[in-house]
Structure 1
């Protein structure tokens, strides 16, 4: 069994190649059981959580299909005081023919790459082909990956970064600014929303930051951060103005506050489609240059499996 660390994942992956691997996975036959949540009582440190996210490819074919895998993630709230990351994880990839372990991959790094690739995949169907200005809301670990992924599939020239802590936005912008891609921190969020062709948000906010009143016609909104029904990154006005898509209907309808709350209130009448629909051509993507589109991602084990298979394929281990 091969051990694949974060550095190896960074070395072999490229944004466009991973987007295409995810596109193929959503077109193929993949089984994704409901993920398992197991609470671990820890009276003195806050309860921990163990998450198991399995998936398997139903048949062999192009792209190394015919594998199975499971992501194992632990969440230990008390780790912050110990200087250890709260979320830990690994991805175990196995042979679909024998069940034998093939590789153990760094879970957090794989998740960053596949999450950003899923957003880029959705934007390939939903963002205007000439989109040149991106607004990145949030400056956490995922932000740099989202900027790189969107820049790989659209001709971006300008990136504005907004964060509740301005210093973090400035640090990220300084790190990513380069010839051909101007990256700058901004303080005026409403103005930045109005100037953006693509708005990508990766925060843990419970209060909407993407306000529909400030979105320009033709904008594409990419919501990545919220992963519980109580979390919200876009307001009802943004949802009402947009045609709404998700990564998976089952996941987003149960876990995403940006979908659960508008469905309950009536602000969202229906989900237009998910990544299965977009990749298989059973739901239309962007229909005009003026419409606003919105994509909400909560993550799915399909993406982890496709990314792990792609990594091992690039390493020449299959």
Structure 2
């Protein structure tokens, strides 16, 4: 059996030494005005290649202690049922400081509204001045998928992959895009509790809709759980040996997407502390976190042997928003300078 100790990657990782700071590019001279970017403008400015590289470097910096980032604050919101949540996520990496405000309202799906809405404020840490305010849904979707793709790039064989998407929302679409940026994808299967949503998503991403989660997962190489579920939707008995699972949903200590059998595998997290304090999948299963993905990216921890079933538990780190917002801002300044 071939062992993948530290698989090559198309993305460069800074050296894994605590004294080395992430390489920062100088940015163009900015004006004193506060920039505002709506979703359409963010989509125009955010480069997939740059985002993958930025998220990769951010995850390494997070592991090396080079990021200032408290655990996210969570507050229940809503009127009668109070079934919504407000998340506040600040972080600083080098010359970039941001905070993101996120609302998660599952009931919005029945109203034809996004269940996730977010706004990002980018600031200058030297002065505290606001540099830009941007709608955050595109960044949230893209940086979340970028983290999954970076982890897959480090841990998944370089062969055509069959992908299963459990969930049919914006995160399913962004994961399809980002995974195709790092691997050849031979098939994408989509499942949703609402069949019409699965069919529409499958059309949008060039996949095929499945009538059950099990049908989507059986035989898949990569499984992405991108749902609003609070109870498990993925059973470990469905997973093929050596599968890679990007467990993205269930952001609360009492919520789960994966059952105990699924969690009884090699677990790697975007951040250990967040996984051990905020992830219901980790807390309720008692599964140990073997490593942070940053440890593997910089070579401090070896990847598990080929054929190991891997669970990548992603909580979505604020520093990912920070680097994405900085990329958008710098791209806008560069365009202005050329005009």
> What range describes the TM-score normalised by the shorter chain of this pair?
0.7 to 0.9
* 8 Å contact from structure 2 (residues 46, 324) kept in 1: no
> What SS class does the counterpart of residue 175 from structure 2 fall into?
helix
The higher relative CO (CA closer than 8 Å, separation ≥ 6) is in 2
Deviates more, 1:147-156 or 1:66-75: 66-75
Report whether the alignment pairs 1:273 with 2:297: no
* 8 Å contact from structure 1 (residues 208, 232) kept in 2: yes
> What SS class does the counterpart of residue 88 from structure 1 fall into?
strand
* 8 Å contact from structure 2 (residues 276, 282) kept in 1: yes
In the alignment, which residue of structure 1 is the partner of 2:18?
A: none
Q: Which whole-Å CA distance do the structure 1 matches of 2:81 and 2:311 have between them?
A: 38
Q: Which whole-Å CA distance do the structure 1 matches of 2:83 and 2:242 have between them?
A: 44
* 8 Å contact from structure 1 (residues 55, 302) kept in 2: yes
Deviates more, 1:98-107 or 1:81-90: 81-90
Q: Which whole-Å CA distance do the structure 2 matches of 1:175 and 1:191 have between them?
A: 20
Q: Which of 147, 170, 184 matches 2:208?
A: 184
Q: Which whole-Å CA distance do the structure 1 matches of 2:289 and 2:296 have between them?
A: 12
* 8 Å contact from structure 2 (residues 190, 210) kept in 1: yes
In the alignment, which residue of structure 1 is the partner of 2:198?
A: 169
The CA deviation at 1:243 is 1.0
Give TM-score, length-normalised by structure 1.
0.85
Report whether the alignment pairs 1:51 with 2:51: no
The CA deviation at 1:84 is 5.5
Alignment of 1:25-36 (within 5 A): 25-28=58-61, 29-36=66-73
Note the residue ranges of structure 2 that are not aligned, 5 or more in a row. 1-33
Aligned length: 298
Q: Which whole-Å CA distance do the structure 2 matches of 1:120 and 1:200 have between them?
A: 11
Q: Which whole-Å CA distance do the structure 2 matches of 1:78 and 1:223 have between them?
A: 22
Give TM-score, length-normalised by structure 2.
0.80
In the alignment, which residue of structure 2 is the partner of 1:62?
A: none
> What SS class does the counterpart of residue 250 from structure 1 fall into?
helix
Cα RMSD, aligned residues only: 2.4
> What SS class does the counterpart of residue 230 from structure 2 fall into?
coil
In the alignment, which residue of structure 2 is the partner of 1:287?
A: 305
Report whether the alignment pairs 1:109 with 2:177: no
Q: Which of 247, 255, 258 matches 2:278?
A: 255
